């Protein structure tokens, strides 16, 4: 599995990369503009990302705008909705307007509020269909 991590804060980016490496090969970038470029490069090389972990609050281009642009690029390339790259939005913001924008305007697959931990991420990976739910 290929994973793109988009996080402007260095400590959070390193932590998320460390955790997500157990699920697949990770690339990490610092802002939305870099995310759109990395996504486009991967798509055009035929080596798409399976998952994008996308922070909302970032300089340059925020996560909401990056997600909208990524979804537009997928549309331009004829990628059907059911085959779109899964996007895990991450943010310290849990207010309804950000959640609504991420899901309904941007097409996020899942929305996680920080702080993130291994269990919260594992549950998200199950919900996204990347892992089977363990029987406890």
Residue spans of the domains in the chain: they are 2-128
- The rounded distance, in Å, linking the Cα atoms of 43 and 40 is 5
* Kind plus residue range of the DSSP H or E element containing 10: helix 10-20
- Nearest Cα to 70, choosing from 58, 94, 53, 57? 53
Distances (CA, A) of 41 to 5, 33, 35, 112: 15, 12, 10, 26
pTM: 0.91
Of how many residues is the chain composed?
Answer: 136
pLDDT at residue 32, as a whole number: 97
Q: What is the fold, at CATH topology level, of the domain defined by 2-128?
A: Rossmann fold (3.40.50)
Each residue's pLDDT expressed in tens, for the chain with a length of 136 residues: 999 999 999 999 999 999 999 999 999 999 999 999 999 999 999 999 999 999 988 988 999 999 999 999 999 999 999 999 999 999 887 776 766 666 666 788 898 988 999 999 999 999 999 998 765 4
pLDDT at residue 91, as a whole number: 84
Instruction: Give every CB contact of residue 20 below 8 A, 6+ residues apart in sequence.
Output: 3, 5, 26, 53, 121
pLDDT at residue 130, as a whole number: 95
pLDDT at residue 80, as a whole number: 95
């Amino acid at each position: 599995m290929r994973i793109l991590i988009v996080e402007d804060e260095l400590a959070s980016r390193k932590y998320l990369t460390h955790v997500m490496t157990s699920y697949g090969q990770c690339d990490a970038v610092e802002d939305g503009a870099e995310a759109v470029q990395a996504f486009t490069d991967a798509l055009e090389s035929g080596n798409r990302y399976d998952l994008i972990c996308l922070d909302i609050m970032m300089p340059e281009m925020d996560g909401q705008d990056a997600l909208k642009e990524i979804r537009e690029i997928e549309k331009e390339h004829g990628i059907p909705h059911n085959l779109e790259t899964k996007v895990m939005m991450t943010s310290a913001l849990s207010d309804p307007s950000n959640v609504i924008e991420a899901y309904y305007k941007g097409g996020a697959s899942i929305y996680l509020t920080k702080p993130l931990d291994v269990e919260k991420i594992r549950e998200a990976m199950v919900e996204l269909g990347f892992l089977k739910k363990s029987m406890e």
